[in-house]
């Protein structure tokens, strides 16, 4: 989707006016970001808890199996969550594009919190036998179905609220919450391991982190229900209703899955490549490393957890910084750096981790955190910008969750299988290198979106002064293509409003 020298820009129907530019309500922006961050924190809290309890969960739900089988079972259950995510992305994405982002995001959060809480209340194998692992898989599938609509909806929501010049920064705060949630999950597990010990953790202690999701979920739901619908979605809905009122055609209607695949296959493919690259690195650090440190390097479960917590906090802090950097340099530049950094540094990172000393393990984990930050910080801002408003939630939900199901959630299982099959301690590093090469191809094909309006949307700014400046410089602004702006939709709304006023005056007379 790079620039085409033969492309002639479409001549806009009219000039950009100050009234066309969206001035972001800062208080609503803060509320939107906070509401989405708590949801992402909730999602990744569960991912963190399950990742750090993988060895324990295997013992609880498959106690008669060999340790290696227990680990593969636990990681397989983790991967099963991601099987349901594409279906959730399709269902909730379609609903989000039809009835609104806010309603759907409240629903996904309620389902996600309930599923996590019920895992904590689930009887173990010793109580109900083989039904225990079966019900665990069912609850993880339900959890995956709900989270299939969570990240895509949250990023869509925040990017539609954010001003164009700072979209990378605000969107990256979502992933700040994600990894902070992961660190919170790791901390809770560590405190329990220290205070209870291994036997008590296997007997009953593993339940507490999942049960705590009920409290965290209640707070997150309260935040999310206080948010209004995104202004971009409201404008699109108004334009659609206006077109219906004047019997005009309108291209901004939600498409069904087959139409979306036909019309948007290229941005979907690009999104899959970007997500595959960023999340294999991210999940290798967050979900696989606790098991790798414990099972392959001989660290105790407690030490393996404690070593990764400061690295997760470091990663969370880096994300808004690299997101802000993408607002300055461009999304593509930062992701190019992420791809190159991964290819060059992932082998040294695994060698340092495998050295066995705590200082070298921390250094290797920090290098993985740097790679993750460069890849992931751009994801939340770049992926929604690949799709127009009417199909943004559905398109991103489908692409993101397909990639997560195939490459993200399965990363711990894949790298463990590679390590077992080859006996090569660097096999996981080679896998991450290959995925970053695929991601680099996606970066090459994508169009730069930094500082530009979202497709199908009018420009969004922070102040009235910035709106006036944008109108004055519309002919020379390199980040503004008038031919891409939805003037027709804006004019349809205006015509409908004028028709409504005239009808009101007619009735009055």
CATH number for position 435:
1.20.1250.20
254-268 pLDDT tens trace: 556 778 888 889 999
Residue among 406, 376, 53, 79 nearest 201 (CA):
53
Q: Torsions phi, psi of 455, nearest 5?
A: -55, 130
SS (H, E, C) 259-270: HHHHHCHHHHHH
Tokens of 103: 């309603």
- Res 231: pLDDT: 61
Q: How far apart are CA 440 and CA 436, in angstroms?
A: 6
Residue carrying structure tokens 């009234």: 19
**How much is the pLDDT for 273?**
95
* Assigned domain for 348 exists: yes
No. of H helices and E strands in the chain?
24, 2
- Helix axes 427-445 and 265-283, enclosed angle (nearest 10): 150
Question: What pLDDT, on the 0 to 100 scale, is given for residue 247?
Answer: 44
- Report CA Rg, the chain: 24
Tell me the two tokens of residue 11.
């001549």
d(C-alpha 300, C-alpha 288), whole Å:
15
- Asked whether residue 509 is domain-assigned, the answer is no
Distance in angstroms (rounded) separating the CA atoms of residues 362 and 344: 18
Q: What are phi and psi of 387, to 5 degrees?
A: -125, 150
| Residues sharing a CB contact under 8 Å with residue 75, sequence separation 6 or more, in sequence order | 54, 291, 412, 413, 416
Domain holding 272, by residue range, is 21-227+256-469
What percent of the chain is helix, strand and coil (3-state, nearest 5)? Answer: 80, 0, 20
Asked if residue 480 belongs to a domain, the reply is: no
Q: Are strands 460-461 and 22-23 parallel, antiparallel or unpaired?
A: parallel
Residue 474 CA from chain centroid, whole number = 33
233: in domain: no
Evaluate whether residue 4 is within a structural domain.
no
- One-letter-per-residue 3-state SS of 482-505: HHHCCHHHHHHHHHHHHHHHHHHH
DSSP 367-431: HHHHHHHHHHHHHHHHTGGGS-HHHHHHHHHHHHHHHIIIIITTHHHHHHHHHHHH--TTHHHHH
This prediction has a pTM of 0.80
491 found inside a domain: no
Q: What's the confidence (pLDDT) of residue 375? A: 93
Residues of the chain where predicted confidence (pLDDT) is lower than 70:
1-13, 228-256, 301, 409, 488-509
Cβ–Cβ under 8 Å, residues 479 and 16: no
10-61 pLDDT per residue, tens: 455 578 889 888 888 888 888 888 888 887 888 788 877 887 787 788 888 8
Closest by CA position to 101, among listed 23, 48, 39, 26: 39
Q: Is residue 261 part of a domain?
A: yes
Contact 51, 293 (CB under 8 A): no
The token duo for 234 is 């409201």
pLDDT value for 249? 43
Q: Kindly give the interhelix angle for 358-382 and 301-329, rounded to the nearest 10 degrees.
A: 40
Structural domains in the chain (count): 1
Q: For residues 9 and 474, is the Cβ–Cβ distance under 8 A?
A: no
The label of the residue with tokens 């665990």 reads: 136
Q: Is residue 7 part of a domain?
A: no
Say which DSSP state 461 is in.
E
Phi, psi angle pair for 444, to nearest 5°: -60, -35
């Amino acid at each position: 989707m790079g620039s085409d020298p033969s492309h002639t820009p479409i001549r806009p129907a009219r000039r950009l006016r100050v009234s066309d530019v969206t001035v972001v309500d800062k208080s609503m922006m803060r509320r939107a970001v906070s509401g989405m961050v708590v949801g992402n924190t909730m999602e990744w809290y569960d991912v963190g808890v399950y990742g750090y309890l993988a060895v324990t969960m295997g013992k609880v739900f498959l106690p008669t199996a060999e340790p290696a089988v227990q680990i593969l079972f636990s990681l397989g259950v983790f991967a099963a969550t991601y099987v349901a995510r594409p279906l959730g992305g399709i269902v909730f994405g379609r609903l989000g594009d039809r009835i609104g982002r806010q309603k759907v995001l409240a629903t996904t959060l309620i389902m996600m919190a309930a599923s996590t809480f019920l895992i904590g209340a689930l009887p173990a194998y010793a109580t109900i036998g083989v039904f225990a692992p079966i019900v665990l898989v069912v609850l993880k599938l339900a959890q995956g179905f709900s989270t299939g609509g969570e990240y895509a909806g949250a990023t869509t929501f925040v990017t539609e609220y954010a001003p164009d010049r700072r979209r990378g920064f605000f969107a990256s705060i979502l992933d700040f919450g994600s990894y902070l949630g992961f660190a919170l999950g790791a901390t809770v597990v560590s405190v329990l391991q220290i205070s209870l010990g291994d036997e008590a953790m296997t007997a009953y202690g593993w339940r507490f982190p999942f049960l705590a999701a009920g409290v965290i979920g209640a707070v997150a739901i309260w935040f999310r229900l206080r948010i209004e619908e995104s202004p971009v979605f409201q404008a699109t809905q108004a334009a659609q209703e206006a077109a219906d009122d004047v019997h005009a055609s309108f291209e901004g209607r939600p498409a069904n899955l087959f139409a979306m695949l036909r019309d948007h296959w290229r941005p979907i493919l690009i999104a899959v490549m970007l997500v595959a690259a960023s999340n294999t690195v991210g999940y290798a650090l967050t979900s696989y490393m606790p098991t790798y440190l414990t099972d392959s390097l001989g660290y105790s479960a407690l030490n393996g957890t404690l070593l990764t917590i400061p690295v997760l906090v470091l990663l969370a802090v880096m994300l808004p910084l690299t997101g802000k950097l993408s607002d300055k340099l461009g999304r593509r530049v930062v992701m190019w750096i992420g791809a190159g950094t991964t290819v060059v540094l992932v082998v040294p990172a695994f060698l340092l981790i495998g050295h066995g000393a705590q200082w070298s393990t921390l250094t290797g984990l920090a290098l993985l955190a740097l790679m993750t930050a460069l890849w992931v910080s751009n994801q939340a801002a770049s992926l929604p910008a690949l799709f127009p408003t009417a199909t943004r939630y559905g398109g991103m939900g489908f692409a993101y969750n397909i990639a997560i199901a195939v490459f993200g959630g399965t990363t711990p299982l894949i790298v463990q299988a590679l390590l077992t099959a080859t006996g090569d301690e660097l096999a996981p590093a080679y896998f991450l290198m290959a995925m970053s090469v695929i991601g680099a191809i996606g970066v090459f094909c994508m169009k730069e979106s930094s500082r530009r309006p979202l497709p199908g949307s009018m420009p969004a700014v922070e102040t009235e002064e910035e709106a006036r400046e944008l109108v004055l410089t519309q002919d020379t602004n390199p980040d503004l293509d008038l031919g891409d702006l939805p003037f027709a939709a804006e004019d349809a709304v205006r015509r409908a409003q004028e028709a409504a006023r005239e009808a009101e005056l007619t009735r009055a007379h």
